[in-house]
Structure 1
Amino acid sequence: LFARIGKTYSPVSGALVKRHNVSDVMKTIHRLDEGTRFLITAPVTFKDRTTLEHLSILSQQGFARILVDGTIVSIEEVLEENTYAAEKIQLVVDRAVVRYNDEDNDYRLQDSIQTAFYEGRGECELRFMDEKPTMVFNSLFELDGISFTEPTLHLFSFNNPLGACPKCEGFGSTMGIDEDLVIPNPHLSVYEGCIAPWKGETMGKWKDKFILGASAHNFPVHRPYIDLTDEEKALLWDGAKGVKGINALFKHLESKSYKIQFRVMLSRYRGKTVCTTCKGKRLKPEANYVKVGTQSLSDLVELPLRKLKVFFQELKLDEQDASIAKRLLTEITTRIDFLISVGLPYLTLNRISSTLSGGESQRIQLATSLGSSLVGSLYILDEPSIGLHPKDAQQLITVIQALRDNGNTVVVVEHEEAFMRAADFLIDIGPAAGNLGGEIIAAGLPQDVLSHPTSLTAAYLNGTQQIPIPQALRKATGEIILEGVRQHNLKGFDISFPLGVFSVVAGVSGSGKSTLIKQILYPALKKHLEMVGERPGIHKALKGDLDAIQHVEMVDQNPIGKSSRSNPVTYLKAYDDIRNLFASEELARIRGYKAKHFSFNTDGGRCD
């Protein structure tokens, strides 16, 4: 869409950048009043020759006049005086009058305009005899002294060298001063010492000087860093008149990097940081000069889908652009509707896939399938409800039914009650697991399967069998408290996890469950117990009965074995005892077998 109808705007003046041609200039002339007198001029710059030498060449080419301070001057007169000197002149290519329905005049104007573009190296001007402003045309896609890149498909892809930010190569981050390392506790204020390098007898002077000068800029030194506005954070980092910010300290350290102590201090605060060129947007700046409506591509991908849908619904285009973009806009709005219909109206298009929850990923895949508009296809889904809240499961069922209604067949392996009740045809396999299973117990309409006398699935669905809720719940033996959790969409709350009991964290998909547990609680406990591990997500403090926890283990949905020969016995380390047992047998001792001879991972044990 941006490559087809995007308009490029100059970052200097904000004016539209356009590559003009002869027909554009002619259309402008035909809109003038008949009888209007004007000059067709071209700016000529002298680089390799003197002004007089160049004027002599222009005279030999048939040009007779130049414009000097708004006055038409004969080139021959200038050459005779032999005193004129300038780096740039306005060459008068033609003197013309607007005449309607005069083909001969139009042909002459077209030739003159073409000549002006050539002599002016892409620039042609219409100058008027009265007070009308000069009209400037450029055939080189330039404006305000900047040469712009014409929009192409590759310009808007950070996976392509033509569109990727040259500094971060499209990753959005570079090695630099890491904000999280410089400000490890954003809940502290500048006065309370939130800036780690501004501590100590020597470096503490930077903090004192900043606090003294901050009042002149109304900077709140007692406000926690996390509550500062973007403008206030910019002042703290970049400084201002009379105030040196954090970046000034690191520039000072870099200038003294021949001293080892300063190199060590710099390395202490280096890490992955947002690219300073693209501001994390991953595209080169030229891509953001191109806009559809009033928004650049980087602006649009930062909008939630619900707001993005409104933008495209209210987008106003002229007749030509509307014709070009009609099919593209239909595809875009349709796919946005699919994503919203599966319960993802809050999602932004610049979200990194690794930060999506399992439920969000599955629904995006289903929305993609729905958006492909395939007919007569067979979709096989393996337990798509894993990790989904009942509310999200119902939305997923709606999407699956839409796939079916499009003329497709959908086969789902599932044991979620809502899916089984919504099915058109239900197959129950059993009666138990492993070698006790493998039989078709019941197959048919869901209501028919529910009445089957021997189906264990039917027994739980119709309520004849239930999982009893314990009458007496276990009492907690302590608690772990997380204060001020703010990662991603978490709103800075405090939460207590009781110890010695079975706790469940519930909520709709995308509400922040995985963020709370995987990115804050687990890393925080890991770092507390072992002093190593990844940096926990943003939180104020970890408190409570921490001494009661001796070890923390994360059991997730990732495969447990990294080797293709791995199996549950090797993962549990039980094979070590089994190998030792076989190696201790009398026949094994007679043959000289060791434990390694009973391993399929070593020479002498595995089949060659």
Structure 2
Amino acid sequence: MLGKLPPAGRRSKAPRRVSPIKAPKSVAPASPSSNRKSQPSSRNGGQKARTPRKTANKGGVIRIRNARVHNLKGIDVDIPRNAMTVITGVSGSGKSSLAFDTLFAEGQRQYIDSLSAYARQFLDQMPRPDVDSIDGLAPTLAIDQKPGSTSGRSTVATVTEIYDYLRLLFARVGVPHCGKCGAAIAQQTADAIEASLLGLPEGTKFVLMAPLVRGRKGVHREVLLSIQTAGLVRVRVDGEIYALEDVPELAPRANHTIEAVVDRLVMREGIETRLAESVALALRLGSGLLSTLVLQDDEQWTHKIYSTAMACVECGSSVEEIEPRTFSFNSPYGMCPTCEGLGEVPAEDAEGNPTWVTCTTCDGGRLRKEALQVTIADTNIATLVDMPLDDAAHWIAGIESELSALHKMVAEPICREVLRRLEFLKRVGVSYLSLSRGADTLSGGELQRVRLATSIGSGLVGVCYVLDEPSIGLHPADHDRLIGCLRDLQQQGNTVVVVEHDEATMMAADHLIDIGPGAGTHGGEVVCAGTPAAVRKNKDSLTGQYLSGKKRVGGAAERRTIGGQSLTLSGVTTHNLKSVTATFPLGCFVGVSGVSGSGKSSLINDTLYPALAYQLNHGKPLPITPSSVTQFQELTGIEHVDKLVPIDQAPIGRSPRSCPATYSGLLDEIRKVYAATRESKTRGFTASRFSFNSAAGRCDLCKGHGVQKIEMNFLSDLYVTCPRCGGRRFNRQTLQVRFKGASVADVLDMTVDEATEFFENVPSALRLCQSLQSVGLGYLHLGQSSTTLSGGEAQRIKLGTELARVSTGKTVYLLDEPTTGLHFHDIDRLITVLQRLVDAGNTVIVIEHDLDLLAACDWLIDLGPTGGVGGGNILASGTPESLAAMKNNATGRFLKQVLSREA
């Protein structure tokens, strides 16, 4: 019996507020000359919505009654069906609680409940939201900014399903090439196969087999029976040769490869007739395929496949049948065996730090050599997906002229579908991306717009789509296209509900719901609802006051003097940057602007941050190699900086125990307060006793979580309050210690506003509370789990924490779109906080699209002119006024409107 051969590759109850909507009249289209024309959208450069408001509200309304989720105060809301509704309000007012935790959650729950108990056990189910009733609800889909299940193998092409069509295209009309000589693979005759085998050295042992099953699930009893019927007695199963009667029972859910053993031979004279008969039989049984095992040097068996369909006419090399899975980097039949489909392999940099470098086997193409050698018009699939979307669309549109008449018929419907999906991606503003771009490298806004393009292309009707701020990361020049895409989704016969702060999107809506009036316990009510014009006239609506111009964000401020010390980055070629030199004035408020994909993040996050951080930490320039992501020539002016603080939107903690109090250090101060009480000293309690991460102080049943998870098999998991601590997370002895009549659990249940008053006589704790208040987080509970915080909230917690620290006056703060998730009122407060940092002598550098924040900057660096390969240039550097004076600058065109309003 032959030994097992190695596999070819690795696998790796409150007052109720009623929304004053009456369906269907409330969503009647506005006249073309109404509202927006008389009062331009000041924050977006006076642009007029270019998509007509078309509604077909024959479906009535979705009625939400007595919603009490999170801070919602028993509100009643009517949302028009088959229309576009925007839900807005200050941060923390309850927008997401209404849209996602109520509307979407109930839609998903109702759908899953309609499935069989067997099917439900495989799905993550949502608990029923705290609401009396929701009527008229259609099946719901959420298009949010969460990464979901994206992995290192998930790309723009796979998320949009374009890659599935490309795999089919290359499998059906692609031309494989020989890995040895590069010649195109042609059909190989039986005679050619015999001649190849006869070339084996004298005395070589080899086995001829007929491949019958290749990587298919099942027990395959009928296949084994067919081998017996053919008169054969041996079979190779998953690399092991058995007598037919000894084949073990195959696992039905595992992939199996089965080959019938036709003959076992030793190369010698006079073997030609027997070899010809065995080859013919193997090819007949294997439907044109024949596989061999050849013993090399009496040590190792090598496996090879011959095909009457695919073989090199020059050197006789054969390739396996080309299938769609051949081009899948998620399948062992297609993925590169070295990097296992990731395109990268782990390595260490010059300092010994772990990093990733391009796989040298596939050169980053992710696929096996055989797949990369299949081309259409001299282009393989890896090269195609690396193209910018515009170039990929041009290539797809032109390949039919390169194909034969038969192949053209096969390719035409595939190409049509790919082009349709590429067009949707361009329309949502991500044309600068390539199809090979990893989904895990996309920002939340980019990933959401990619998913939006997929939804538009799906053609579904009668669905309620819920979106979370799709305008995030978009330049004002791109907003009209996004609104047009949302309209397309709605006009297909769907209901579109958008949580949004962007003024252009609000003014384009059929229905606008303003939640507030404040955040946290001060919110959760419907302030007003109706057409955008009605909300704009409402005196009680904070949103309406900003839309009407009665309130303004920021305002005219004296520019700081430019011309002193500065940081200068020279010769930057990171990603799409075209050897640019950028100067950042120190002690100023600096904004980095430009259309999506123009190179802002490449300049700041991928170049300035690592270069500055390394030199501050090591006292020498960052080493640059050809494989480094960061590419620049020189960084000067660093002697004027002594600290770098990046403030991004990454979560403040992965554990449910992580909360604002732990991240900001406030809990440390609280623990000191409780450890200093007389009762703690009497009991011998130290500060560590008052941490729910400490076994001594926390509840030993729930381990400090406050809840217990109960698995319900095919029902959704149930989380119940811990019966021992009552959800307070600490044990009884710890909770007996009181300060001003409150236990440590009582303090963690307080909001930042409440804690500020509670610790008015504790300076160290008070300073941290006031810092969190200043960035608009007074509504957050100190012990709120970090997993429930938005990216914007996490970023402001980091900013508030930094504000509480003693500033050296030589600190550089880097922020990436800090206005994400912020209402006009919150942006106004944020600008004040950032100006305070600069007034203390620090430098604030902000990547941003919000026009009001950009108008408040002392200095702007604008990149473009487009995204991707068309970007990467610095178009302008100067004050906001200087950009506004430029006729052909997209950012300046919109800034001019904002600055003229403030004049």
Instruction: With the length of structure 2 as denominator, give the TM-score of the two structures.
Output: 0.44
Superposition pairs for residues 20-35 of structure 1, below 5 Å?
Answer: none
Task: Indicate yes or no: 2:445 matched with 1:356.
Answer: no
Distance in 2 (alpha carbons) for counterparts of 1:16 and 1:501: 62
Aligned residue number for residue 478 of structure 2: 392
Amino acid at match of 1:494: T
CA shift at 1:338, angstroms?
1.0
Measured at CA, do residues 310 and 449 of structure 1 come closer, stay the same or move farther in structure 2, by a change above 3 Å?
Answer: same
Distance in 2 (alpha carbons) for counterparts of 1:270 and 1:300: 30
- Specify the SS of the correspondent of 1:427: strand
Measured at CA, do residues 167 and 42 of structure 1 come closer, stay the same or move farther in structure 2, by a change above 3 Å?
Answer: closer
Aligned residue number for residue 337 of structure 1: 423
Measured at CA, do residues 9 and 562 of structure 1 come closer, stay the same or move farther in structure 2, by a change above 3 Å?
Answer: closer
> For each residue in 1:47-85, what CA deviation from the matched residue of structure 2 results, as whole angstroms up to 9, or x when unmatched?
6889xxxxxxxxxxxxxxxxxxxxxxxxxxxxxxxxxxx
Superposition pairs for residues 186-265 of structure 1, below 5 Å?
Answer: none
Aligned partner (choices 348, 354, 362) of residue 278 of structure 1: 362
Measured at CA, do residues 352 and 596 of structure 1 come closer, stay the same or move farther in structure 2, by a change above 3 Å?
Answer: same
- Specify the SS of the correspondent of 1:147: coil
Contact 2:569-2:634 within 8 A present in 1 as well: yes
Identity %: 41
Aligned partner (choices 168, 171, 176) of residue 3 of structure 1: 171
Aligned residue number for residue 596 of structure 2: 509
Contact 1:141-1:148 within 8 A present in 2 as well: yes
Aligned residue number for residue 550 of structure 1: 642
Aligned residue number for residue 496 of structure 1: 583
Distance in 2 (alpha carbons) for counterparts of 1:16 and 1:300: 19
Distance in 2 (alpha carbons) for counterparts of 1:41 and 1:418: 68
Amino acid at match of 2:587: G
Aligned partner (choices 364, 380, 403) of residue 296 of structure 1: 380
Aligned partner (choices 366, 391, 403) of residue 452 of structure 2: 366
CA shift at 1:401, angstroms?
1.3
- Specify the SS of the correspondent of 2:176: strand
Measured at CA, do residues 465 and 8 of structure 1 come closer, stay the same or move farther in structure 2, by a change above 3 Å?
Answer: same
CA shift at 1:19, angstroms?
3.4
Amino acid at match of 1:306: D
Superposition pairs for residues 103-118 of structure 1, below 5 Å?
Answer: none
Q: Which shifted more, 371-380 or 589-598?
A: 589-598
Amino acid at match of 1:531: H
Rg (Cα) greater in structure: 1
Measured at CA, do residues 528 and 583 of structure 1 come closer, stay the same or move farther in structure 2, by a change above 3 Å?
Answer: same
- Specify the SS of the correspondent of 1:146: coil
> For each residue in 1:397-424, what CA deviation from the matched residue of structure 2 results, as whole angstroms up to 9, or x when unmatched?
2221111111111111111111111111
Indicate the structure whose relative CO is greater, using CA pairs within 8 Å and at least 6 residues apart.
2
Aligned residue number for residue 380 of structure 1: 466
- Specify the SS of the correspondent of 1:474: coil
Task: Indicate yes or no: 2:152 matched with 1:152.
Answer: no
Distance in 2 (alpha carbons) for counterparts of 1:593 and 1:461: 55
Measured at CA, do residues 90 and 358 of structure 1 come closer, stay the same or move farther in structure 2, by a change above 3 Å?
Answer: same
- Specify the SS of the correspondent of 2:635: strand
Superposition pairs for residues 40-189 of structure 1, below 5 Å?
Answer: 45=198, 139=308, 141-143=310-312, 144-174=315-345
Measured at CA, do residues 368 and 570 of structure 1 come closer, stay the same or move farther in structure 2, by a change above 3 Å?
Answer: same
Distance in 2 (alpha carbons) for counterparts of 1:412 and 1:41: 63
Contact 1:381-1:413 within 8 A present in 2 as well: yes
Aligned partner (choices 506, 509, 518) of residue 423 of structure 1: 509
Measured at CA, do residues 521 and 271 of structure 1 come closer, stay the same or move farther in structure 2, by a change above 3 Å?
Answer: closer
Task: Indicate yes or no: 2:414 matched with 1:328.
Answer: yes
Aligned partner (choices 629, 632, 635) of residue 539 of structure 1: 632
Unpaired segments ≥5 residues, structure 2: 1-167, 204-267, 290-305, 701-903
Amino acid at match of 2:310: F
CA shift at 1:452, angstroms?
1.2
Aligned residue number for residue 211 of structure 2: none
Amino acid at match of 1:483: S
Amino acid at match of 1:595: A
Aligned residue number for residue 555 of structure 2: 469
Aligned residue number for residue 142 of structure 2: none
Distance in 1 (alpha carbons) for counterparts of 2:320 and 2:178: 11
Amino acid at match of 2:177: Y
Task: Indicate yes or no: 2:573 matched with 1:481.
Answer: no
Distance in 2 (alpha carbons) for counterparts of 1:12 and 1:581: 75
Measured at CA, do residues 273 and 416 of structure 1 come closer, stay the same or move farther in structure 2, by a change above 3 Å?
Answer: closer
Aligned residue number for residue 451 of structure 1: 537
Contact 2:575-2:629 within 8 A present in 1 as well: no
Distance in 2 (alpha carbons) for counterparts of 1:556 and 1:138: 55
Contact 1:388-1:508 within 8 A present in 2 as well: yes
Aligned residue number for residue 617 of structure 2: 530
CA shift at 1:575, angstroms?
1.5
Contact 1:460-1:466 within 8 A present in 2 as well: yes
Aligned residue number for residue 707 of structure 2: none
Unpaired segments ≥5 residues, structure 1: 26-39, 51-85, 92-110, 124-136, 182-266
Contact 1:10-1:17 within 8 A present in 2 as well: yes
Distance in 2 (alpha carbons) for counterparts of 1:576 and 1:161: 50
> For each residue in 1:116-146, what CA deviation from the matched residue of structure 2 results, as whole angstroms up to 9, or x when unmatched?
x99xxx99xxxxxxxxxxxxx9826222221
Amino acid at match of 1:295: T
Contact 1:523-1:536 within 8 A present in 2 as well: no
Distance in 1 (alpha carbons) for counterparts of 2:354 and 2:590: 38
Q: Which shifted more, 468-477 or 363-372?
A: 468-477
> For each residue in 1:72-103, what CA deviation from the matched residue of structure 2 results, as whole angstroms up to 9, or x when unmatched?
xxxxxxxxxxxxxx999999xxxxxxxxxxxx
Instruction: With the length of structure 1 as denominator, give the TM-score of the two structures.
Output: 0.64
Aligned partner (choices 15, 18, 23) of residue 186 of structure 2: 18
Contact 2:568-2:583 within 8 A present in 1 as well: yes
Aligned residue number for residue 229 of structure 1: none
- Specify the SS of the correspondent of 2:643: coil
Q: Which shifted more, 367-376 or 345-354?
A: 345-354
Contact 2:566-2:583 within 8 A present in 1 as well: yes
Measured at CA, do residues 429 and 314 of structure 1 come closer, stay the same or move farther in structure 2, by a change above 3 Å?
Answer: same
What is the count of residue pairs matched by the alignment? 433
Distance in 1 (alpha carbons) for counterparts of 2:366 and 2:379: 17
- Specify the SS of the correspondent of 2:467: strand
Aligned residue number for residue 65 of structure 2: none
Measured at CA, do residues 154 and 411 of structure 1 come closer, stay the same or move farther in structure 2, by a change above 3 Å?
Answer: same
Contact 2:446-2:473 within 8 A present in 1 as well: no
Contact 2:179-2:370 within 8 A present in 1 as well: no
Contact 1:46-1:88 within 8 A present in 2 as well: no
Amino acid at match of 2:422: I
> For each residue in 1:407-458, what CA deviation from the matched residue of structure 2 results, as whole angstroms up to 9, or x when unmatched?
1111111111111111111011222223222221211111111111221111
Task: Indicate yes or no: 2:658 matched with 1:566.
Answer: yes
Distance in 2 (alpha carbons) for counterparts of 1:138 and 1:478: 71
Aligned residue number for residue 206 of structure 1: none
- Specify the SS of the correspondent of 1:396: helix
Measured at CA, do residues 157 and 549 of structure 1 come closer, stay the same or move farther in structure 2, by a change above 3 Å?
Answer: same
Distance in 2 (alpha carbons) for counterparts of 1:526 and 1:47: 61
Aligned residue number for residue 410 of structure 1: 496
Amino acid at match of 1:602: S
Q: Which shifted more, 13-22 or 563-572?
A: 13-22
Contact 1:341-1:395 within 8 A present in 2 as well: yes
Distance in 2 (alpha carbons) for counterparts of 1:584 and 1:404: 60
Distance in 1 (alpha carbons) for counterparts of 2:355 and 2:503: 47
Measured at CA, do residues 47 and 449 of structure 1 come closer, stay the same or move farther in structure 2, by a change above 3 Å?
Answer: closer
Distance in 2 (alpha carbons) for counterparts of 1:554 and 1:323: 54
Measured at CA, do residues 8 and 445 of structure 1 come closer, stay the same or move farther in structure 2, by a change above 3 Å?
Answer: same
Distance in 2 (alpha carbons) for counterparts of 1:322 and 1:591: 84
Distance in 2 (alpha carbons) for counterparts of 1:367 and 1:568: 35
Distance in 1 (alpha carbons) for counterparts of 2:526 and 2:363: 58
